[in-house]
Each structure stands twice: as structure tokens, then as C-alpha cells.
Structure 1
Amino acid sequence: MSAVPGWCFVAAMAALPLVLPDLYLLSVLTSAGIFIIGAISLNLLLGYTGQLSLGHAAFFGLGAYASALASLGFDIGIGFGLRLTLPPQPVWIGFLAAIAVAGGFGWLLGRLAFRVRGAYFVIITICFAQVLRMVALNWVELTQGPMALIGLSPFSLWLPGQGVVELYAKNQTYWLVLGVAVLCFLVVRQIVHSRVGRALVALRENETLARSVGIRVTHYLVIATVVSAGIAGAAGSLFAHNVRIVDPDVFLFIYTVTMVIMVITGGKGTLWGPVVGGLIFGLLPDLLRGAAPPEAQWIAYGVAMILLVMFLPRGIVPAIAALMPARRPGRGATASPVSQEAP
């Protein structure tokens, strides 16, 4: 999708709260937008490096807890009679802490896990998420365990003439999530269209050949993991301050599955795939809620996903791109596999 239709789509989404009186649907769109950000982060790994991470909810949960703990503050013992204390911080400091903490753990996981490939890498990522869930469940002094961290403040912005305004309203939260989603999309787009992106695609297509021409495999994979984890941490922070509560269930496997579904059905390895897949499978359950009983809703959800995978195995966005007339590169220009967005 070119820049003009893309910005038109963003403008249409930004204008939606002005013409949509249904606050519930706006809340659903906000939740879908948070998971679209998570799917965008996962697509950088799954789509552009070919590495399937089934523990991506770990970074999502780390972002949620880091942001919540920074905004609430904490006072815990760290042994030898010492205590670690952090007074409550502004929510935006918590948001930055979420990105930093998730990105730091992404660097650590990348340095360790990318020594293996295939099923071994998948197992490591799953175990990583489960270990973090058990830590959150049992480190009661810090995380409150199953009692959860509650009373989180919403995000706030400084507005001219109004000072600091807390974003309580549904439309304000929606615009915040949309703005973060656009920023994350542009960050991933910049990476994909850079030398780093070309290296990642080369690793995905033929790692042995990439090594033979001097591409540092682990170096570029770690870069992708750190950026992916940081964006997932940002999504986790938005999630925490949107629902105003964080418990160990934020590490559940279902959140990773949701992101994987969005990426695969939309089109992995394309910039717009997670957005399209996220909108469809983020809104479908709620659109079916008033039209069918609960059992039929999940059956329809599963059937829709199976049909998409069967008839559009590369995803919705590549299928649409295949129907459009091919654009010829300008005189003297050469088309690169990265710039085409679909592998």
C-alpha cells in the first residue's frame, strides 16, 4: 500500500470517534488496536526473520508490569537487609520503562535463544513466558501475585491552556492507541526498508547463503528481537493502563496465539498484514456477539480462520496485492524484494 492510501486510512480511523456514537464499539476498537501493535511487533520476527516466537506474550506482560510498577511505585527487600524503593512515577515514565525493560529482556533472550533454531527456539520462547508468569504469580511482595496490581492511572497529556489532562474518555484512549500504533508501524517500516531489513529478509530466505556473504546472523536477529520486544512492551503498557489492572494472566499463551493469528491471516512479511488481520479478528468476536449464541460465535470464528488459511495461504494482503496491476519501477530504478512488502 502506497503512502497516500495509507495516510487516508489513518485519517479515516482518526475521524471514527467523531461519527461513531457507540462507546462500546470504540472500546473494542481500542483493545483491537493494542493487539495490532503487538502483532506488528511479532511480524518483525515471524514475517521478516522467519523465527516463530510462541512466547511473545512475555514481552507484552513485561511491559504491562513494568509500566504498572513504575506508575504505582514499590518498596521491596533485595536481601542482606537492603531494600529497593521507587516512588510513584508519571504514567509516561512507566511507558518508557515498559519499552526499556521489554527490550532489555529481548536482548537477553536473543543472545541466548538464537544459538538454536526451529523447534528448540519455539520451546525456549514458550518456557520464557511461562517462567515469567510463575514469577509474577509468586513474587507477591512486588507483583501482589494473584491479587493483581490495581488502581492504575490512565495516560495523561499536556494540552495548551488546559495543563495536564488525564485521558479517561473512550475517544481519548482510542486516539492515544492509534497514535502509538502509527508510530510503531513507521518504526518497523523504516527498519524493513533499511539495510537491516534487507539483511533480515536474506536470513529468512537462505541463512547459509547470508552467512557466506558476511551477514552477521546473530547480530541482526538480536536487533530484530530487541525492537520487537520493545514494541510489544509498549502494547503491554497501553493494555495495563487501559484496563487499570495487571495480573499474571497477562502472560497467558492465548495472547501470543491472538497475535500469531493476526499476523498469519493478514499476511506475514507484509507491513499491512498485522493491521488487516488485527482489524478482522479483533472485531469479529464482538460483531458476532449480538447475532449468534456463544457456541456459534466461536465456531464461526474458527471456520473463518480455517477458510482464510485454506484459500489465502499467504494472507489477505498478499492476495489483494496479487490482484492489483504490477507497478513498474521508474527508469533507472530497481525493485528490491524488501520494498514490495510481500515475500
Structure 2
Amino acid sequence: MAGMNRFAFPACVLLLALLPLCWPDPYLLSVVASCGIFIVAAISLNLLLGYTGQLSLGHTAFFGIGAYTTALMSLGFDVTLPGLEQPLAVAPQPVWLSFAGGVLAAGLAGWLLGRLALRVRGAYFVIVTISFAQVMRMVALNWVDLTEGPMALNNIPAPTLWLPGQGVVELTTKAATYWLVLAVAAAAWLLVAALVRSRAGRAMIALRENETLARSVGIEVTRYLRLAAVVSAGIAGAAGCLYAHTVRIIDPDVFAFMFTITMVIMVIVGGKGTLAGPVAGGLIFGLLPEALRGTVAPEVQWMIYGALMIAVLCLMPRGIVPAAGSLLRRRRRPAAMAEAAAPAPPAPQAAAPATRGEAA
């Protein structure tokens, strides 16, 4: 079983990587790539919600910080700051350097929010995260000299890649965008998997289960919560960077509360606290609206979407992935019990020693 688990992830990634070759429909690839960006964001939220038990309803703040940071760095900007006589001018930077800057900025924001908010728990933490996201949205909306406000930042450069014999090429095709999103999603999944399987991850799970008991055995609660906040924010920032460089236009709506709700739905319906949960929930609830589009009226789409979500939560309260795992274990148990209860085959009898007469 361990060997199967070891090869399941690379096999899934390989199968997904073959999609543009087997089904090169540009619209399909665009939809799946957009869904993949929010799966990356859901993976980041799952680290905080699923493994430390802290619900963040302002997670879109880190998504937007990553998007705006990479966009501004790649486009360049000129802004006047209070206390400075000369305006601060930053020349356009390479895309991947801007991408790294967006991840770093989001991680730094997660660290600052962790220092401020992780001293509180429950509803207080939720209120702090929502307020933080709204503050970031108001900054993006009103700091017109830097962010262009509601007019949006456009013409954001596309990601680039060096290829042998071709030099630096822009990843503008739908297939190239899809592979880029798949690569970032796989890297985010591996990072979270390595973290939750480490000593720090076990400490985070202990905090989720019983924080008082974890403190009593010497686990540094604030330290591990802050680590989860920084890694979670950085991955969400990477999703925002992907969004900025693939859509190539952003406005303050990247801080919209609906984005956070989408992430929460993907995590909880898929199965919080599981590595595959955000992926399963993201694929189902990310692709479902597109599958229903053109089939039923828009208002009926939302009714089906909501009804399916309610049905999943009622029938599978722990999420799709844990329910599927329980079903597989129940199906294997009767076979294992039948095998254990089966009578053992009779042992072969040893040949009787020959008598003296028979020997003669």
C-alpha cells in the first residue's frame, strides 16, 4: 500500500499533463487552468483550516497581495510616498523575479497577520482576517497612483520560459498556461505534504485536536501557528501571481469575499485536513459551473450548485475524500475477514517409517 501511495501522485500528475495532448480544446484548457489556480489557493487554506483548525475568511488578501505585487514589479511603477522628496521609481523586473516577489510579499503579510491575529481564536480570529482582507481591498481601490484603482492594471507580462534552440519564449498558449498551473499546483501539494508529515505538521495537528493538551506537553503553539500562516499565505500569493500573469489584468475585485468562500467550499466539501481534499473539491466545484453553463438557466445553475453542496455535506459531513476512504475500507474488510476465517489447508502427512520386514 505504501508503494501505491508513493506512485499515485506522480501518476496523477502525469495523466493530467497529458490532457492538452489528448484534448487540445483551448476553452477546456482555459477552464481547467482557472480551476487549478483556485485549487492552489484551496491547498493553502487547507493548511491553516484543515491542519491547525484556524478558519480564515480573509484568505483572499494574500491572493490579492501576490497578484498586485507581481503585477507592479513586472510593469514597474512610480509613486510618491509620504516623507520622501523624490518619488519612488521601480523599473520593470523579469517575470519570475516578480513572481518570487509576490510570494515573498504574501508570506510577509501572513507573518505580520500571524503575529497580530494568532493570539486570538475562534470568531475573533475570523473577524481579524475578514477586516484585513477588506483593508487590502480599500487600499487597492483608493491608492490610484500605485494600483490604478478601479481602472485596473493591464498588459501584465506573460510568464516566460527558456527553451533549447528557441531562447526565451512567452507562455501565452492555453496549453502552456495549463502546464504552468499544473506545475505550481504540484509544487504546492508537495510542499504541504512534506510539511504536514514532518514534526511541525504533527504539532499542528495536535494543536487542532487539543490546544490545551498540546501546550501541556511543551508544543510551542504560537510558533507553529505562525509557520502555518506564513506557508499558507505564501502559497496563496503564488496562486495570485498565477492569476495575474495568466489573466494579465487585475483590479481590486481580486480581494472579493467570494474568492475566499470559493476556497472554503473546496476545502470543506473535498475534506479538510486531507491532502487530496482541496483537489477533489476544487475539481468538482470548480468545473461544475462550466459543465452547467449553456445547459440550464443561470439561476438554476446556482440552485444545482447549492443543492449539491448541501447534499454532500449532509451525506458526507467529513467531506468527499474521507467518505471515499471509509467506503473503500468497508469493502476491503469483509474480504479480509473471509480470508482470515477460511480453514487452513491440511498439512501434508509425513511418510510412515518402513518396518523391518518391508525394508527386507
Shorter-normalised TM range: over 0.9
Instruction: Look up the match of 1:53.
Output: 56
Task: Give the secondary structure class of the aligned counterpart of 1:158.
Answer: strand
Letter in 1 for 2:183: G
Task: Give the secondary structure class of the aligned counterpart of 1:47.
Answer: helix
2:178 pairs with one of 167, 171, 174: 174
Q: Hey, what's the Cα distance between the residues in 1 that align with 2:140 and 2:292?
A: 34
Q: Hey, what's the Cα distance between the residues in 2 that align with 1:67 and 1:203?
A: 34
| Aligned-residue offset at 1:325 | 3.2
| Aligned-residue offset at 1:10 | 1.0
Matched, 1:162 2:166: yes
| Aligned-residue offset at 1:214 | 0.7
Matched, 1:109 2:139: no
Q: Hey, what's the Cα distance between the residues in 1 that align with 2:140 and 2:241?
A: 16
Instruction: Look up the match of 1:3.
Output: 6
Instruction: Look up the match of 1:337.
Output: none
Task: Give the secondary structure class of the aligned counterpart of 2:81.
Answer: strand
Structure 2's unaligned 5+ residue stretches are 334-360
Is 2:24–2:175's contact at 8 Å kept on the other side of the alignment?
no
Instruction: Look up the match of 2:100.
Output: 96
| Aligned-residue offset at 1:203 | 0.3
Instruction: Look up the match of 1:144.
Output: 148
Q: What are the superposed Cα offsets for residues 272-323 of structure 1, whole Å, 9 maximum, x if unpaired?
A: 0000000000000000012211111111111111100110000010011112
Q: Hey, what's the Cα distance between the residues in 1 that align with 2:142 and 2:36?
A: 31
> Pairwise mapping of residues 222-241 of structure 1 onto structure 2 (< 5 A)?
222-241=226-245
Instruction: Look up the match of 1:252.
Output: 256
The number of aligned residues is 328
Q: What are the superposed Cα offsets for residues 35-87 of structure 1, whole Å, 9 maximum, x if unpaired?
A: 00000000000000000000000000000000000000111111231321110
Q: Hey, what's the Cα distance between the residues in 2 that align with 1:45 and 1:6?
A: 22
Aligned Cα RMSD in Å?
A: 1.3
Instruction: Look up the match of 1:41.
Output: 44
Question: Which TM-score applies when normalising by structure 2?
Answer: 0.89
Letter in 2 for 1:93: L
Q: What are the superposed Cα offsets for residues 185-208 of structure 1, whole Å, 9 maximum, x if unpaired?
A: 000000000000000000000000
Task: Give the secondary structure class of the aligned counterpart of 1:85.
Answer: strand
Letter in 1 for 2:73: A
Q: Hey, what's the Cα distance between the residues in 2 that align with 1:93 and 1:129?
A: 25
Q: Hey, what's the Cα distance between the residues in 2 that align with 1:290 and 1:12?
A: 28
| Aligned-residue offset at 1:324 | 2.1
Q: Hey, what's the Cα distance between the residues in 1 that align with 2:122 and 2:114?
A: 14
Task: Work out which of the two has the higher radius of gyration on C-alpha atoms and give 1 or 2.
Answer: 2
Task: Give the secondary structure class of the aligned counterpart of 2:87.
Answer: strand
| Aligned-residue offset at 1:160 | 1.0
Question: Which TM-score applies when normalising by structure 1?
Answer: 0.94
Q: Hey, what's the Cα distance between the residues in 2 that align with 1:224 and 1:79?
A: 34
Matched, 1:217 2:241: no
Q: Hey, what's the Cα distance between the residues in 2 that align with 1:21 and 1:121?
A: 44
Instruction: Look up the match of 2:338.
Output: none
